[in-house]
Amino acid sequence: MPVQIYHQLRELVGRGLLTRRRILLQVILILLTILFETIGLSLLIPVLKLIESGAGVVDELAMQSRYWRIMKDTFDIVGLTLNLSSLLLIVFGMICLRQIVRYTAQMSMSHTKQMVERDLALRLFRTTLHSAPLALQDVGTGRFTFMINTLANGAATILRTHAAFLNGVIVCAAYLAISIPLAPIPTVVGILLAGLVMTAMGKFARLARAISSRSVDLRQRFQNHLAERYQNWRLIKLVDSVEPETKALTRWAQRIYNLDIDSIRMSALTDLTVVPVMTGLTLSILYLSVSVLHIQVTQIAVLIMVLIRLEPVVRSFSQQRQAMARFGPQFDRAISDLDEFSKLREQDGGGRELTGVTQEIEFSDVTFSYPGSEKPTLEGISVRIPARQMTAIVGPSGAGKSTIVDMLPRLLRPASGRIRIDGVPIEDFSLSSLRRSIAFVSQKSVLFDMTIAENIRYGRPDMSDEMVADAARLAQADEFITRLPGGYQTQIGEGGVKLSGGQQQRLALARAFASGAPILILDEPTSALDYESEAKIKQVVQGILDRREKTIIVIAHRLSTVAAADTMIVMEQGRIVEAGPPARLDNSGGWYKRMLDMQNTRAGEVQ
């Protein structure tokens, strides 16, 4: 156990989550606590001796005993009279000092624990979100929240176990230093027997650690299960699966219940074994001291106090081993996850700053495959996207349209080929400036459970209220925002649930405009909207296009959405099969012409 504590503390110090100064302070406070307690306890011997012999025997005792002579000289030096009242006052003072230092130690430990938990949670959060997108998308909501909440807390809680263990070691050493002179043989025998008991208890600790490891895995998967079910509550209701899901959840809960009971059983078995054994050892030591060694009554009284105090300390050792077994796997998992995502950190790129697009965005012979895919998602993509124009990317589902736009902000990296902005490879730009230059509006609006104003200024918290309102007006969102009772301070719920689909999209557009990014990517922005909402979005996009301020890339299935595009790129099976102005493609007889005719026919049938 000491070796494990050393390695865990070294791990925290090495990662900057804990300082040696903090550890030293805690050790000093523990030492002071035990020092004051030991002094107070050791003074009980002369207190009991004076009670037994009378107050006037101090000089006689000083002549007979070196211990009393040293104590009398010490009292004389500080100007105190050695008597019962002065000894009792000092004992009381030592107890008060012990409690003050103990309070300070507890508060220091709490500050340290909370600080480590906070910093570890932040480190896990930051490191995970800085990891490569392909790795990040495999994490899952449950695992992510489990790392931040449960693992960080468990890893930090283990510090309390370390402090309690160290406190117990020092208490035992101090009390043994008192008891060995009083009853050396029984004390040594007791130490040996207690050591054997603690060694035997190691089996329970190993079992508890194995149970805790399984519990960490199970609880992480359970949290994933819960998060997924809540995110899909609408489907669960629509297919009437509340009861089957509840039954499935019951099975999960039962497995966790069984593991928790097993863990509690290990702890209870430890107490069941340790308490009777330690009580038997204590009574045996007292019997030997009185019946065999004939120790004086005053010494026996102090020995009884020492043994009574030692019993919960020794029992605490077993409890700390159980705590180590419980929280150790959480500590190990937190450190393992930190290492895993640190290795997966995405590369920043060059030091150039991207401030805008003046000429074009060029894809040159770009190929890409997702891990585990036998067939390339993109193959030999070569295309130029003119600056300050609208380029539409169309094609059937699975053609690779979204993959192309994900490569521009380097969410995905090509297996071969290059992507350039104004002739400069995107790897030469800093990742921060590249992504700040791209505003993204997806098919499903990404909104947070914040106010409307906070959602619009997300990413630019320093924006003024006037700038927020300007962005909303540009996105034609101001008209519905001002009708809301709270206006721009309206809380919109998780994912913007309190808004309609069209309102969510216009709010997402407002955020994109507020960012000031020179590149605007719209990924199926109207596919889930009614025609009225689609018309509003198209009107907004047309207004941007007319001003020629941004390079717009639109992915769409509805060709009516991109009718105003300057350039049309048609994709099939990861390749570009057509590219050019819509008017030219309309006469080509290819996929674009066929889909345009089909959609026009459907529109005529609806009318």
Q: pLDDT (tens digit, 9 = 90+) per residue, 452-504?
A: 999 999 888 888 999 999 989 888 888 899 999 899 999 998 888 888 888 88
Res 36 pLDDT > 50: yes
Q: What 8-state DSSP symbol labels residue 295?
A: -
Dihedral sign, Cα of residue 312, residue 318, residue 321, residue 327? negative
Coil/strand/helix, residue 430: strand
Q: What is the pTM of this model?
A: 0.77
- At residue 554, φ and ψ (nearest 5 deg) are -120, 130
Q: Is 203 exposed, middle or buried (0-12, 13-18, 19+ CB in 10 A)?
A: exposed
Res 606 pLDDT > 50: no
Q: How many CB atoms lie within 10 A of CB 187?
A: 23
Cα of first residue to Cα of last residue in the chain, in angstroms, is 79
pLDDT band at 607 (very low <50, low <70, confident <90, very high): very low
Show the CA angle centred on residue 593, arms to residues 592 and 596, nearest 5°. Answer: 85
Res 116 pLDDT > 80: yes
Q: Which of 192-196, 369-373, 374-378, 418-422 has the lowest mean pLDDT?
A: 192-196
Res 531 pLDDT > 80: no
Answer yes or no: are the C-beta atoms of 29 and 108 closer than 8 Å. yes
Q: What is the pLDDT of residues 61-85, one digit of tens each?
A: 666 667 677 777 787 788 877 777 8
58-72, 292-306, 337-351: which has the highest mean pLDDT? 337-351
The token duo for 235 is 């489907």
Coil/strand/helix, residue 443: coil
